[in-house]
Structure 1
Amino acid sequence: MRVRKAVIPAAGLGTRMLPITKSMPKEMLPIVDKPVIHYVVEEAIKAGIDDILIITGKGKRAIEDYFDRSFELEFYLREKGKFEELKQIEEIGEMVDIYYVRQKKPLGLGDAILHAEKHVNGEPFAVLLGDDIIVSEKPGIKQLIEIAERREAPVIGVERVPWELVSRYGIVDGEPLGDGVYQVKHLVEKPSPQEAPSNVAIIGRYVLTPEVFDALRETPPGRGGELQLTDALQELLSSQNIFAKEIKGERYDVGSKLGFVIANIELSLKRGELREELLTFLKNLLREVSDE
């Protein structure tokens, strides 16, 4: 079992980030000087993925334009002698083989995954959601791929969340196997804290096998009439093992306004050319706020 393909669902409406997402795909929101989806694609590439399918929807053309070549801009930068900027722009257009398919109706993550069936062509594949940026020494999706290839089974990325937040996530009830790995026994989509079997929450990384497509077709729509991937994975549990892995690294939920702001600040602090001036600004701002 070798995972060499990735699917990035990017057809969602981004309602948590309105009003900006009325005219801009949430995946194109800037984190420092790169859009969210750039970080996600980079993670897949660093994990050894060489084939990426992006599921898009209406109003998402900017994603395709971003990863395409821009000959006019490249010519301008070359003429002006801006060779460092030229190198950055050229690298974007040559990052990896990227393909696109459109989800015509926003019918949920499960429906988006179904649109990838022909492209993955019977192979296991990684899924990376654009709402999550994961910064880690070993790419987050690579941590899942290693377990999936060793156990020849699907693997779900998870992290522990505060109990009061479990209703925002799919939750895993699993048997701990050590090193943050669980054998999944049961999955619950957005339970109340009283109903949740644990606080081990599903985050936006998966490694799936082709059997998931039959499970998705057999799964009825869930909340809001949407086809939920978590429900399909619960269905799949009846016929095969599924594992979960706590991803080691920093995760930023850039699909929320607070998470977006935090990601911009923390990732800016990791940039050498920005760090000192930003730290000075933040320290002065904290002093001003504490004096009020």
Structure 2
Amino acid sequence: MTVKKALIPAAGLGTRFLPATKSMPKEMLPIIDTPVIQYVVEEAIASGIEDIIIITGRGKRAIEDYFDDSPELEMHLAKKHNTELLKLVRDVSSLVDIHYIRQKEPNGLGDAVLRAENHIGNEPFAVLLGDDIIVNDKPCTAQLIDNFQKYGRSTLAVEEVPYEKLSSYGIIKGKPLNDSLYVLEDIVEKPSPENAPSNIGAIGRYVFTPEIFDCIKEAGTGVGDEIQLTDGIRLLNNTQTIYACRFEGKRFDTGDRLGYVKSIIDFALKNESLREDVLEYLRDILVTVDDPSDK
């Protein structure tokens, strides 16, 4: 089986970025000049995905508009003979075949995944959270797909989580197969740090067999009175082996304010036209902070 469909949940309220997200989807927050969700879509495409479903909600229309044609803007750029920007705008709207399904109200990640069941059908599929950017030569999703191709089983991307952040993740208990792969033994949604089974957490990338849908339904409501994807994974693990993969790459959690700031700095330092000016500015800030006479 090949993985050609991907689901991007993007229906959250983005409360950590209020008031900006009162009228703007958090997935559309820019990393310099490119919204977060474009990086996620590009990762899916680079991983061989041909069909993308984005789960949206009320107030998320900007996501649909962004990936759609923009005749007025394109006409304006054409009249100004700004061929470089015109190509940039047109490239965005021709990235891949994208479908949109609305989640009527935020009811957990598991519920968001269920919205796409009819579209996915009886096929394996990837899930990429809309506010995680992962940078590497080989996309994180492609790494998971490789593991799925090898074993034919659902695979989660995982990484070490700081102690103080354990209660924000699904934390796994796993049996190591090698330096980067575990057989999943259990996963616990948002445990207290003292009760966490490890310091290894599932992050925003998954590849699932279609049986996950029935397991999510069977699991019902979980932590926070929401339908949790983690609970569905636990049930699926009772009938199928699930793997947890330590992916290669650098992850930015742009749904977190500090993670968002880090992503902007990191991407700016990799931008040839910005790098030197940003470095100079950062040096000036550090000198000012370290100068006792400035206190």
Could you tell me whether the CA contact under 8 Å between 2:5 and 2:126 is conserved in 1?
yes
Aligned to 1:161: 161
CA deviation string 1:65-124 (max 9, x = no partner): 000010111111111111111110000010000000100011110000001101111100
SS in 2 for 1:12: coil
Aligned to 1:242: 242
**Cα distance in 1 for residues equivalent to 2:256 and 2:157:** 19
Q: Is 1:53 aligned with 2:53?
A: yes
**Cα distance in 2 for residues equivalent to 1:220 and 1:68:** 35
- Where do residues 183-194 of structure 1 align in structure 2 (5 Å cutoff)? 183-194=183-194
**Cα distance in 1 for residues equivalent to 2:82 and 2:290:** 43
Aligned to 1:105: 105
Aligned to 1:5: 5
**Cα distance in 1 for residues equivalent to 2:164 and 2:65:** 40
Q: Is 1:174 aligned with 2:184?
A: no
Aligned to 2:227: 227
Aligned to 1:118: 118
TM-score, L = length of structure 2: 0.97
C-alpha displacement of 1:161: 1.5
Aligned to 1:263: 263
**Cα distance in 2 for residues equivalent to 1:177 and 1:3:** 23
Aligned to 1:206: 206
SS in 2 for 1:118: helix
Aligned to 1:82: 82
Bigger mean CA offset, 55-64 vs 8-17: 8-17
**Cα distance in 1 for residues equivalent to 2:235 and 2:204:** 19
C-alpha displacement of 1:185: 0.4
The amino acid across from 2:14 in the alignment is: G
Could you tell me whether the CA contact under 8 Å between 2:5 and 2:125 is conserved in 1?
yes
**Cα distance in 1 for residues equivalent to 2:168 and 2:94:** 37
**Cα distance in 2 for residues equivalent to 1:156 and 1:106:** 23
The amino acid across from 1:259 in the alignment is: G
Aligned to 1:25: 25
SS in 2 for 1:178: coil
SS in 2 for 1:141: helix
Q: Percentage identity across aligned positions? A: 56
Aligned to 2:130: 130
C-alpha displacement of 1:220: 2.1
The amino acid across from 1:35 in the alignment is: P
Aligned to 2:16: 16
**Cα distance in 2 for residues equivalent to 1:145 and 1:179:** 18
**Cα distance in 2 for residues equivalent to 1:223 and 1:121:** 27
SS in 1 for 2:239: coil
**Cα distance in 2 for residues equivalent to 1:4 and 1:110:** 21
SS in 2 for 1:272: coil
Could you tell me whether the CA contact under 8 Å between 2:189 and 2:223 is conserved in 1?
no
Aligned to 1:40: 40
SS in 2 for 1:43: helix
The amino acid across from 1:79 in the alignment is: K
SS in 2 for 1:107: coil
**Cα distance in 2 for residues equivalent to 1:121 and 1:227:** 20
**Cα distance in 2 for residues equivalent to 1:13 and 1:273:** 34
**Cα distance in 2 for residues equivalent to 1:17 and 1:124:** 33
Structure 1 gap ranges (5+): none
Matched positions, count = 292
The amino acid across from 2:65 in the alignment is: D
**Cα distance in 2 for residues equivalent to 1:19 and 1:259:** 18
The amino acid across from 1:122 in the alignment is: N
**Cα distance in 1 for residues equivalent to 2:72 and 2:30:** 22
**Cα distance in 2 for residues equivalent to 1:141 and 1:272:** 27
